[in-house]
Structure 1
Amino acid sequence: MSKTGAELRLQGLGKRYGAVQAVKPLDLAIKGGTLTTLLGPSGCGKTTLLRMIAGLEQATEGRIFIGGRDVTLLSAGERNVSMVFQSYALFPHMSVLDNVAYGLVSSGLRKREAHARAEAALETVGLKGFGTRLPSEMSGGQQQRVAVARALVLEPDVLLFDEPLSNLDTRLRRTMREEIRALQQRLGLTVVYVTHDQSEALAVSDMIVVMRNAEIAQAGTPHELYARPDNVFVATFMGEANHVRGRIERIDGPMADVTLDALRLTLPQRGLAAGPVDLVIRPEAIRISDAGGGIAATVARETYMGSHTEYHLATPLGELFCVAPDRLRRRQAGEAVSVTFDPEGVVAVHP
């Protein structure tokens, strides 16, 4: 089970239901052995796209290539992909071992060999010795691992996850996403992972594809999307972000001089013209100091979070949300302060 997964290529792939365009034609190349997350709000097309890759939905247009082979017209069973569903979909009357072996047995493999491979798959996901239990005797996290083992045992070219952690509590979600990522890297699997949780996407992905209104808003590495979002939607979807208006005063090669109220910053120009500009400021890039210098602000409210304090600041740019470690002192509501920004946390974006 340690082969490297296949490359997945989508070419002009689209899906419509009557007059409704569920996925607008798009191109996407996913390298073998990497984990790519489809991220976006409900109804953006990410699950439909995943189901087209799986062969559970027929594409209206375009082609799907897995390992260079055109699988567009092949059934789900002929594509050599496996899918892990949100509901796990385990058979309650079957033992864990029989659940994992089910796909192999139904494809004609002898039961003894199927069980041996199922045992190996259970060991891979850390469930050695659990084969005789029923799903009802397992915790949610263990059931999730059984579902992963059942998909892995088929040795798929591409492994698909549809919101796999949404039924788990917060702490278990963190553990499970780390386990899925470690497993993917250890086995060299090609994984496509659907979620609407940006922290989950940042934690597990080699590449994130942010979807909006049935199309790709931006694709890139987690760092690229967080540090250099193309537009306001991507910036605000990839974590907390303050959206303000500034002005590009002057362009000097790849850099631009930008004014924000009383502050002047030099930022990457990113193909934008001089004049009014949309800016995204990350909460951790906002520096609060005593009044005088920078932009005048007032603490509207403050929330103590243990390791840090969250502030909402009233400023001439509008309300700003910021996060401060407060090792020295906490600010109080109504206090007059000054605000400056770390330039690397401020990005000029398209509206």
Structure 2
Amino acid sequence: MTLALKTTGAEVRLSQLGKRYGQVRAVKPLDLVIEGGTLVTLLGPSGCGKTTLLRMIAGLEQASEGSISIGGRDVTLLSAGERNVSMVFQSYALFPHMSVLDNVAYGLISSGFKKRDAHAKAELALETVGLKGFGSRLPSEMSGGQQQRVAVARALVLEPDVLLFDEPLSNLDARLRRSMREEIRALQQRLGLTVVYVTHDQSEALAVSDKIVVMRNAGIAQAGTPEELYMEPDNVFVATFMGEANHVRAEVELVQDGVARVTLEGLSLDLPSRGLPPGPVDLVIRPEAIRVRPSGEGLRATVARATYMGAHSEYLFATGVGELFAISPDRLSRLMVGQSVGIGLDPEGVVLVRP
């Protein structure tokens, strides 16, 4: 008996899928295709509908409207146990009185596997997540990161068509979160799994995803690759939610051949117009796009706050267009609060967006 490692996960297709609780719309009707073998993150603030959407895919919540298909099979009306999906919960939900091996084998035994066969598959699942030889331990004897791996092994051993993660790293410290997200991503790519991953952490989403679905007010604000959402956000919400961003107002003077001439307090930039006409416009400036220049050049600015962060310095500049947050890798020539400087902008970190 061997653990079959899938090389291609199943496609998940949501068609006009929605969820109501009485008069409250938890998820507005939406369409989404999650390609087989990819990791898609549902990202958004608390209450945006991302966890409800995940639970509908899992079969833990019944859809109020629309349909769900997994691997071309309509599963809308099927129970969670009939969908062949596995879920890794935020709390891990391990049985404290069972050994790690029994925890991993529990689902197989419950579904009718002989104990010996279930344990053999559980051992292979533990080896897959780097826990070979840990089967005899109790969950209380494992670190938080190890418990998280046990929860992943328990999900993998069922050979799911789709693996679902609900805020899996929120109980770990920052360094362990970074390590575990890299392990989850490596495992997903190595096994070709289809993964739907819920988080509110933008850096986590950027690090692990093939595709990010940003949710807002129970709907999809924008979906795309990490690069698309960071560099080409559709609106101010997505731009400011995907990492640090400064939002200011500017003026498009003219548009020619898809290039907009933008003015900002006397500073002029040529940027992709993104279909926007001349006139007032929203401008998003990434902190790393701000370049400090001598006083009198570019935008006039005063250092309002300076923070030493070790590998880099962070600044808040007071300018005529509002406060601008900046990140500078130059640790040798730090600016002082109250110092007058000029500010230039790297066009690659500046984007026109709709409100």
One-letter code aligned to 2:122: A
Match of 1:315 among 304, 312, 319: 319
One-letter code aligned to 1:84: V
SS of the residue 1:291 aligns to: coil
SS of the residue 1:13 aligns to: strand
2:311–2:331 contact (8 Å) kept in structure 1: no
One-letter code aligned to 1:339: I
Aligned-partner Cα distance in 2 for 1:322–1:311: 5
Deviation at 1:253, TM superposition (A): 2.2
SS of the residue 1:92 aligns to: coil
Partner of 1:188 in structure 2? 192
1:1-351 matches, cutoff 5 A? 1-351=5-355
Deviation at 1:3, TM superposition (A): 2.9
Aligned-partner Cα distance in 2 for 1:253–1:10: 38
Runs of at least 5 residues in structure 2 that lack an aligned partner in the other structure: none
Deviation at 1:292, TM superposition (A): 1.6
SS of the residue 2:68 aligns to: strand
Q: Deviations over 1:192-218 (max 9, x none)?
A: 000000000000000000000000000
One-letter code aligned to 1:323: I
Aligned-partner Cα distance in 2 for 1:119–1:21: 43
One-letter code aligned to 2:187: L
Aligned-partner Cα distance in 1 for 2:174–2:226: 21
One-letter code aligned to 2:349: G
One-letter code aligned to 1:111: K
Aligned-partner Cα distance in 2 for 1:196–1:120: 32
Aligned-partner Cα distance in 2 for 1:131–1:309: 46
245-254 or 45-54: bigger deviation:
245-254
Q: Deviations over 1:242-283 (max 9, x none)?
A: 000001110112111111111111111112121000000000
Deviation at 1:327, TM superposition (A): 4.5
Aligned-partner Cα distance in 1 for 2:299–2:170: 41
Aligned-partner Cα distance in 2 for 1:97–1:199: 33
Aligned-partner Cα distance in 2 for 1:325–1:189: 37
SS of the residue 1:64 aligns to: strand
SS of the residue 1:65 aligns to: strand
Q: Deviations over 1:167-195 (max 9, x none)?
A: 11111101100000000000000000000
Aligned-partner Cα distance in 1 for 2:333–2:160: 54
Q: How large is the Cα RMSD of the aligned pairs?
A: 0.7
296-305 or 79-88: bigger deviation:
296-305
Q: Deviations over 1:293-331 (max 9, x none)?
A: 211111111111111111110101101000111245111
- State the TM-score, normalized to the length of structure 2: 0.98
Paired positions, count: 351
2:302–2:317 contact (8 Å) kept in structure 1: yes
SS of the residue 2:18 aligns to: strand
Aligned-partner Cα distance in 1 for 2:143–2:315: 39
One-letter code aligned to 1:231: N
One-letter code aligned to 2:180: M
Deviation at 1:290, TM superposition (A): 1.0
Aligned-partner Cα distance in 1 for 2:350–2:7: 42
Aligned-partner Cα distance in 1 for 2:152–2:316: 42
